[in-house]
Structure 1
Amino acid sequence: MEILDSFLHIFKEWYWLPILLLYIGVISTILIENRNPSKTMAWIMVIVFLPIVGLLIYYFFGQKFSKVNRIKKSNHMQDIRMRKEWQHLEPYMKKDMVQIRERIGNLARVFTFLKNERLSSPTVGNYVKLLTNGEEKFPDFIMSLKNAKHSIHLEYYIFEVGNIGEQVLDILEEKATSGVIVRLLLDSIGSSSLVRVLRKKKDLKFFFSECMPVTFTSLANSNYRNHRKIAVIDGEIGYIGGINISDRYINDASSTNQVFWRDTSVRIEGPAINMLQISFWKSWNLTDGEPFQLEEGYLHSKPYQLKKGNADVSFVSSDPGSVGPYNMEAILIGIGEADKSIRLVTPYYIPSDELSTALKIAAAAGIDVELMLPEYSDSYVVQHASLSFIKPLLQRGVKVYFYKKGFIHAKTLTIDGKVSYIGTVNLDIRSFYINFEIAAIIADEDLCAQMEAQFEQDKRDSELMTLVEWKKRNVWKRGVDSLCRLLAPLL
């Protein structure tokens, strides 16, 4: 009893010492990791000003866990496997780069960057079709699924079992039964409801796997999400963009969705599809799904003979294990080479310092820079954090539009009417550094003209914000913006 009393006395006197050592250890770990300074300070503030709770938040969502190291190792091994094929394609890529430079000048440096980083080969001779909103994408997408002869590969962040989701699942079951190889890769959090159903299903006809499954012992993995939305059918048809498989993207009388949902996707055919297929293969290899080899009929052996149209296409992908924030870097290269106009659309604007600076410099240099955001977001904190970045843009001449018709979820960029980016990448820290993301980079006059026409249409459903009007905003709202901005590096 005396020993217990002595222990309690010591604990009452010195309880603060192990807590202090724990705090010192965690903060030292954050500093040693050499993160972005703003992110480092944000995490230290969370830990210091939210006692105990801050430590728990950091443990579950802030650490660079072994999962990231596994991704880095996998990326390295897959790059080694691709090196021989890359050397084989080198003469064709050089030839295509000459054509791309002739068509778009210095903007071709984006394609060169992707080639040099071995992210994607530059390809010419592709067919592209712009698909605006779910009412354009889904009929086209479902028809392609029904016509599949060899394989269907789907990788989606959100797959909801509604009208569209049930149609897709029925087709996948039917096609798998008829001999088509079907693989479905879902994010374990974004598609959590369907994931739980498919886990339990014993007679599933197709291959299914989940990215970054989260259990109580692996809660830290919840910070790393597969945000991609891609489909590859028969190794010949690809879809990429911001549209998930969900009824919310359909804007018609039969839809239960009460909010107009503006989004963008693109269908691609031609030699570029090989690279999209490889992207899916890499993602699949990070899961527990049964492995498959690309040589088993999933790639065209002579992609440069597969001419379908006149578009130049490449892809930029990034993940938590990437050597660099490739999606952000590809955007920065394009902005740096802009000569006349830059038109960006994003639902979430929490930019890196590099992106913010690039946009302000471009506008100050006389380039017409236009940014479109939703008037109302689906996240209160993200919405107000985004608003805190608007004033400096307005001060430097960037035109900022707030979309009022509904929720604009598109993630697009068009430069000089020559090059368009269409993908899953939001203009925020999470997309640049944490999530699995991908975008198609397309040089095609017709598609870019359609993109610019759509931007003009969306401007008619938007309000142009001026610096004068911005300064009239309620001081309390501006205060909330500033408070939410403190969390920006963590969002």
Structure 2
Amino acid sequence: MLFQTHAFKPAHAVTLLRSGTEYFSRLQQLIDNAQHSIHLQVYIFDLDTTGNIILAKLKQAVQRGIMVYLVVDGYASPHFTLAVLASIRKSGISVKQFAPLHYKSLKIGRRLHHKIVLIDDRFALIGGINIADKYSGYNNTQTWLDVAVEIQGEACLDVMAICELIWPKRIRKKWKKNVTFPISQKENYQVCVTQNDWWRRKIEISKTYRDMIRSSQSELIILASYFLPGFRKRLLLKKASERGVNIAIILGGMSDIPLIKPAMHYLYSVLCVNNISIYEWTQSVLHGKMAISDKQLTTIGSYNLNALSDYGSLELNVNIESAEFAQTASSFLQKIIAEGCVKINPQLYQHKPYSVLHAYRFVCFQILRLSLFILFALMRRDRMSRKHI
């Protein structure tokens, strides 16, 4: 049985969106059609062509009388200087930096990693897509492969509640919440919004992934970036394969973080020996995060299978219980495999335990694990110190 803190709720529409023109055209359309409120919370907001287009759309919305609330991460969105923030506020947009860095602070661990667009409390875009040219493909930039999902329905109220946590009470008082949803003749979708925020004792997405792997009976497909699952998830994958589950994992053939590739390759030998098929996307950087279990349950969002998403960042995923949507998502992943993936040959990763290459990959893996452990320790220390204030 799938672990859930929040209940599944009916959805009138659920749509899978790919990074590039598909996602950003829909985003601009939603902003243009907003009636009373826009919430945008994102990890990376670059003030390049894409960022300036979206920012201009938000300013136009304010001029139409729409309330606009923008939150960017204080570490990953360095373009938002004090001068830029002042200029945006002057335009009428309520803007906030999440956990801005300070020279006296070591609180780099807890970051706003989720990506939320909420329009009129009725339409929500949730996934891994940030606001930057590398996600839109503008200016002939190579588009990173990423995914998001648009949901319409009661689950948007759960998204609204999550948006509230970022803002102080004096701001939240202005928000209207008398939202009703039309009765749809077709509600084949059941959706559930899940969070990871160790600071608030929420590890719902981590538990969802573990339960999906544990309960899969026939097929499990995972699209992942920065793939460094802990021992428990690796053991669950091994056991799932042993009971006959067909497991395919799509990973990136290139990465924006140098140590990630050799660290992931260290895990390839563990996965391949357990008959897990690995595919590498070679056309661009892979940044998407999605999993499909038994052609019935799909999860999409910002969560990466690594310790930072487990314990150091605010993450948001949407779980969709629908055979129809799972088929759509599965067809999309099969298209990705055919379009630009190569299948990993297991024999290439059957290294002797003490080979130089194996040792190098093991060291990279341990360096990343140690780095994540230190970040988590700093965050935990800060949490404990606040507890005693």
Q: Which residue of 2 aligns with 1:378?
A: 256
Q: Which residue of 2 aligns with 1:406?
A: 284
- Greater mean deviation of Cα atoms: 477-486 or 198-207: 198-207
Match 1:178 to one of 64, 67, 80? 64
What is the total number of aligned residue pairs between the two structures?
Answer: 368
Deviation string for 1:208-255 (max 9, x for gaps)? 11111111122x12221110111100011000011111111134xx63
Task: State the alpha-carbon separation in 2 of the partners of residues 179 and 456 from structure 1.
Answer: 44
Match 1:242 to one of 128, 143, 146? 128
Tell me if the contact between 1:313 and 1:441 (Cα under 8 Å) persists in the aligned partners.
yes
Q: Which has the larger radius of gyration?
A: 1
**Which residue identity does 2:341 align to in structure 1?**
S
SS at 1:222's partner residue?
coil
Task: State the alpha-carbon separation in 1 of the partners of residues 299 and 125 from structure 2.
Answer: 14
> Is 1:291 matched with 2:178?
no
Aligned in 2, Cα 1:389/1:339: closer, same or farther, shift over 3 Å?
A: same
Q: Which residue of 2 aligns with 1:32?
A: none
Aligned-residue offset at 1:365: 0.9
- Greater mean deviation of Cα atoms: 148-157 or 469-478: 469-478
Match 1:427 to one of 305, 309, 318? 305
Aligned-residue offset at 1:125: 3.5
Tell me if the contact between 1:270 and 1:309 (Cα under 8 Å) persists in the aligned partners.
no
Match 2:364 to one of 484, 488, 491? 484
Q: Which residue of 2 aligns with 1:276?
A: 159
Q: Which residue of 1 aligns with 2:99?
A: 212
Tell me if the contact between 2:19 and 2:143 (Cα under 8 Å) persists in the aligned partners.
no
> Is 1:137 matched with 2:20?
no
> Is 1:154 matched with 2:34?
no
Aligned-residue offset at 1:478: 2.5
Tell me if the contact between 2:224 and 2:304 (Cα under 8 Å) persists in the aligned partners.
yes
Task: State the alpha-carbon separation in 2 of the partners of residues 359 and 464 from structure 1.
Answer: 18
Q: Which residue of 2 aligns with 1:468?
A: 347
SS at 1:344's partner residue?
strand
Q: Which residue of 2 aligns with 1:255?
A: 139
Aligned-residue offset at 1:307: 7.4
**Which residue identity does 2:152 align to in structure 1?**
E
SS at 1:298's partner residue?
coil
SS at 2:171's partner residue?
coil
Task: State the alpha-carbon separation in 1 of the partners of residues 102 and 193 from structure 2.
Answer: 32
Aligned in 2, Cα 1:195/1:137: closer, same or farther, shift over 3 Å?
A: farther
Deviation string for 1:349-369 (max 9, x for gaps)? 111111111111101110001
**Which residue identity does 1:210 align to in structure 2?**
Q
Task: State the alpha-carbon separation in 2 of the partners of residues 275 and 307 from structure 1.
Answer: 23
Task: State the alpha-carbon separation in 2 of the partners of residues 408 and 307 from structure 1.
Answer: 37
Deviation string for 1:23-45 (max 9, x for gaps)? xxxxxxxxxxxxxxxxxxxxxxx
Aligned in 2, Cα 1:395/1:235: closer, same or farther, shift over 3 Å?
A: same
Task: State the alpha-carbon separation in 2 of the partners of residues 207 and 271 from structure 1.
Answer: 25
**Which residue identity does 1:482 align to in structure 2?**
F
SS at 1:283's partner residue?
coil
Aligned-residue offset at 1:173: 1.2
SS at 1:354's partner residue?
helix
Task: State the alpha-carbon separation in 2 of the partners of residues 324 and 176 from structure 1.
Answer: 34
Runs of 4+ aligned structure 1 residues displaced above 6 Å come to none
Tell me if the contact between 2:259 and 2:368 (Cα under 8 Å) persists in the aligned partners.
no
- Greater mean deviation of Cα atoms: 167-176 or 207-216: 167-176
Tell me if the contact between 1:186 and 1:195 (Cα under 8 Å) persists in the aligned partners.
no
Aligned in 2, Cα 1:141/1:324: closer, same or farther, shift over 3 Å?
A: closer
Task: State the alpha-carbon separation in 2 of the partners of residues 283 and 204 from structure 1.
Answer: 21
Aligned-residue offset at 1:304: 9.0
Tell me if the contact between 2:49 and 2:139 (Cα under 8 Å) persists in the aligned partners.
no
Aligned-residue offset at 1:284: 2.6
Quick check: which one's strand share is greater? 2
> Is 1:348 matched with 2:231?
no
Task: State the alpha-carbon separation in 1 of the partners of residues 189 and 217 from structure 2.
Answer: 21
Task: State the alpha-carbon separation in 1 of the partners of residues 239 and 55 from structure 2.
Answer: 48
User: More relative contact order in 1 or in 2 (CA 8 Å, sep 6+)?
Assistant: 2
Q: Which residue of 1 aligns with 2:271?
A: 393
**Which residue identity does 2:160 align to in structure 1?**
Q
Task: State the alpha-carbon separation in 2 of the partners of residues 487 and 472 from structure 1.
Answer: 20
Aligned-residue offset at 1:260: 4.1
Tell me if the contact between 1:145 and 1:233 (Cα under 8 Å) persists in the aligned partners.
yes
> Is 1:436 matched with 2:319?
no
Gapped runs of 5+ residues in structure 2?
373-389
Tell me if the contact between 1:345 and 1:373 (Cα under 8 Å) persists in the aligned partners.
yes
After superposition, residues 294-333 of structure 1 pair within 5 angstroms as: 296-298=175-177, 300=179, 309-333=187-211
Aligned-residue offset at 1:170: 1.1
Quick check: which one's helix share is greater? 1
Aligned-residue offset at 1:264: 0.6
Gapped runs of 5+ residues in structure 1?
1-108
Task: State the alpha-carbon separation in 2 of the partners of residues 200 and 150 from structure 1.
Answer: 23
> Is 1:127 matched with 2:13?
yes
**Which residue identity does 1:211 align to in structure 2?**
F
Aligned-residue offset at 1:325: 2.7
Match 1:453 to one of 331, 336, 357? 331
**Which residue identity does 2:271 align to in structure 1?**
L
Task: State the alpha-carbon separation in 1 of the partners of residues 222 and 153 from structure 2.
Answer: 26
After superposition, residues 357-376 of structure 1 pair within 5 angstroms as: 357-376=235-254
**Normalising to structure 2: TM-score of the pair?**
0.89
